[in-house]
Amino acid sequence: MLGDYVSINPGVTVSGVCRIGRGVTIGSGATVLDQITIGEGSVIGAGSVVTKDIPPGVVAYGVPAKVVRPC
């Protein structure tokens, strides 16, 4: 499920069935694993691997991606 105004940048992989909320930005080359939910308005940093659900309104990055701050 892909919400409105989602920005998926070059080289992103979204695996299997994921829920990408409204206004999410997924940075270049990031990978989102199967069954993951990314909450509304969150930003996933370039090159990240998202292995757990990400709440709304945060910036998360790294391998595995960790929440680092609110947006």
Ligand X SMILES: CC(C)(COP(=O)(O)OP(=O)(O)OC[C@H]1O[C@@H](n2cnc3c(N)ncnc32)[C@H](O)[C@@H]1OP(=O)(O)O)[C@@H](O)C(=O)NCCC(=O)NCCS
Residue 10 engages ligand X in binding (rule: CB under 6 A) = yes
Find, among 59, 39, 43, 63, the residue nearest to 51 by Cα: 63
Residue 13 engages ligand X in binding (rule: CB under 6 A) = no
Question: In this structure, which amino acid lies at residue 51?
Answer: T
Q: Cα separations (Å) of 51 from 4, 5, 24?
A: 23, 23, 16
CB of residue 33 vs ligand X: minimum separation in angstroms? 16
| Residue nearer to ligand X on the CB measure, 28 or 51 | 28
| Residue nearer to ligand X on the CB measure, 6 or 17 | 6
Residue 61 engages ligand X in binding (rule: CB under 6 A) = yes
